[in-house]
Structure 1
Amino acid sequence: MIIGYIRVSTQKQNLEVQQDTLNKYGIDKLYQEKASGRNTNRPILNEVIDYLRTNDILVIYDLSRLGRTVHQVMKLIEYFSQNSIGFISLKENLDITTPIGRAMVIIIASFNQMQVEIQNEKIREGIENAKAHGKHIGRKPISNDKVKIIKALKKEGYTNQEIANHLNISKRTVINYSSIEILK
């Protein structure tokens, strides 16, 4: 059986290109997931792994859909090899049944991981630069008036979610500000 797995990192992203490509390949069953590739516990991927049997083939759009670190990818590739499960990554044209295919998986997974690390490094540098220039990082603090309203509504017995809905702020903001002292 040919099983397809497609993934994007966020709810806002679109799966259509991956889905069209896998459907053209000719899959029997398709699994879709919207979760970060850095997450090692992805429910749909776990379901796919549980579903796969000897001689099944897992088809993905590109190797980064399987995971974003070399360790994640190699752990899965090893599992596939040990259980006689085929694996195809369409974008890179990878086949793990050959020594060159397995080596290419390691190389491509290494580049994918490096890309993530470089991106994270740039984000950290940007934040440090902004802080060095006196820019505020994160959300703006709420006004003392809103803090007073939060405290008053808490005393009246409203839940954090009810207060958040009333003030059009997040529940986490209500929790964070409900216990601080009001600045004068």
Structure 2
Amino acid sequence: MKIGYCRTSTHSQDHALQLDALQKAGCDRIFVETASGTKADRPQLAEAMAYARAGDQIVCYSLSRMARSVRHLLDIGDELRSRQIGLVSLTEAIDTSTPGGRLVFTILAAMSQMEVELLRERTRAGLEAARARGRVGGRPRSLDATKLTVARTLAAEGTMTMAEIAEHIGVAPSTIYRYLPGGRSGLAA
């Protein structure tokens, strides 16, 4: 029996490409999951592996859909091999039920891990280069210096509640309290 496993990392990604390929490969049952590949705890993967019996094959679109780390991928391969279950990757054309397939599986798993590490390295280098140019990532502050001055002035006057001040300058009351700990009484300190 061919058992398909399909995974995307986020809900905004589409499973269609993988599902089409798994159906075309003749999978009798397909387990679909939306979870990060870095998570070892993926319920649909666990269910697919528990469902498989000796002589079955677990089919995935790509090895990167099974796991992101070489160690996890090799652990999955070892467990399946010990249970006499094959692992087939459609993109890489690997079938671990053959000696050549096991060799290629191990080499490609190492290459996949290297690709992930290189991506992390490039991302880190890009962020450092951006910081060196004065660009900082993340969400912009909702309470800039001008709005903070207005909030302090209005709070000191005492004619408006903190909720009214927050509404007036367009932020949540919790933001005001984050910048003015203790509210009005914090201004006196």
**TM interval, short-chain normalised:** 0.7 to 0.9
> Does 1:21 pair with 2:21?
yes
Give the corresponding residue for 1:132.
132
In the alignment, structure 2 segments of 5+ residues that lack a partner are 156-160, 164-169, 182-186
Q: What is the percentage of aligned positions where both structures have the same residue?
A: 35
Which deviates more, 49-58 or 105-114? 49-58
Q: Give 3-state SS (helix, strand or coil) of 1:97's partner.
A: coil
Task: Tell me the alpha carbon deviations over residues 31-77 of structure 1, each in whole angstroms, 9 at most, x when there is no partner.
Answer: 11111111111121112122222222111111111111110110000
Q: Which residue of 1 aligns with 2:184?
A: none
What residue number does 1:54 align with?
Answer: 54
Partner of 1:86: 86
Aligned to 2:167: none
- Sort the Cα spacing of 1:167 and 1:23 in 2 relative to 1 into closer, same or farther, 3 A: farther
Deviation at 1:129, TM superposition (A): 1.1
Tell me the number of residue pairs that the alignment of Structure 1 and Structure 2 aligns.
165
Q: Which residue of 2 aligns with 1:181?
A: 180
Partner SS for 1:87: strand
Q: Is the 8 A contact 2:85 2:97 kept in 1?
A: no
Aligned to 1:97: 97
Query: 1:21 aligns to what SS in structure 2?
Result: helix
CA shift in 2, pair 1:177/1:104, >3 Å: farther
AA at the equivalent of 1:107: I
Question: What is the identity, as a one-letter code, of the residue corresponding to 2:116?
Answer: V
Runs of at least 5 residues in structure 1 that lack an aligned partner in the other structure: 154-165, 169-173
**Match in the other structure for 2:9:** 9
Poorly superposed stretches of 4+, deviation over 4 Å: 144-149, 176-180
- TM-score of the two chains, using structure 1 as the length reference: 0.78
Q: What letter is aligned with 1:29? A: R
Query: TM-score, normalized by length of structure 2?
Result: 0.76
Counterpart Cα distance in 2 of 1:115 and 1:15: 22
3-state secondary structure, aligned to 1:39: coil
Instruction: Tell me the CA shift for residue 123 of structure 1.
Output: 1.1
